[in-house]
Amino acid sequence: MKVVVKTLTFSTREKFELVNITDEVEKAVSESGIINGICLIFAPHATGAIVANENEKGLIRDILDHISQLFPPGKNWLHNRIDDNAHAHVASSIIGASLTLPVINGKVIRGTWQDVFFVEMDGPRTNRRVIIEVLGE
């Protein structure tokens, strides 16, 4: 068994933003040399999330707008007595900060319309990280 880890670091520019990390995921898997196993994509952040979906400009706006409607920044959150990002914490809890994809025959498996995104919900931030862990053999 082999475990190969790659950590992405990047900045975000907007309060709500999708950062497309698909190429980095593909590259991490192909560089790992692992033929069969899994690829775990994990954001060590309580105000971000990881999702897989289509890289279409209108849809990206739809996803972000809908998140901000389901988890409204302006709600009277208790956590906002000491901070201003409760909406992002609650959204991160429910959407989830990790995604696991199969790795089969040397390729990471995803659908035609499934790019992988980090979801920023409390930006802009200068130091966001995503851990890509490939495990298998």
Query: Which residues of the shown chain bind a copy of itself in the complex (CB under 8 A)?
Result: 1, 3, 5, 36-38, 40, 42-47, 51-54, 56-59, 61-63, 66-67, 70-71, 75, 77-82, 86, 89-90, 92-102, 104, 109-114, 131, 133, 135-137
Q: Closer CB to a copy of itself, residue 10 or residue 77?
A: 77
Coil, strand or helix at 32 = helix
Instruction: Give the CA distances from residue 120 to residues 60, 115, 126, in Å, rounded to whole numbers and listed in that order.
Output: 12, 16, 11
Please, what is the minimum distance in Å from the beta carbon of residue 2 to a copy of itself?
9
Q: Which residue has the tokens 């389901």?
A: 70
Please, what is the minimum distance in Å from the beta carbon of residue 130 to a copy of itself?
11
Please, what is the minimum distance in Å from the beta carbon of residue 8 to a copy of itself?
13
Q: Closer CB to a copy of itself, residue 30 or residue 98?
A: 98
Give the C-alpha separation, 106 to 86, whole Å.
Answer: 40
Q: Closer CB to a copy of itself, residue 100 or residue 124?
A: 100
Q: Closer CB to a copy of itself, residue 15 or residue 77?
A: 77
What is the CA 12 to chain-centroid distance, rounded? Answer: 12
Please, what is the minimum distance in Å from the beta carbon of residue 129 to a copy of itself?
8
- Partners of 4 in the β-ladder: 134
Positions of E strands within the chain = 2-10, 17-20, 37-42, 48-53, 98-104, 107-108, 115-120, 128-136
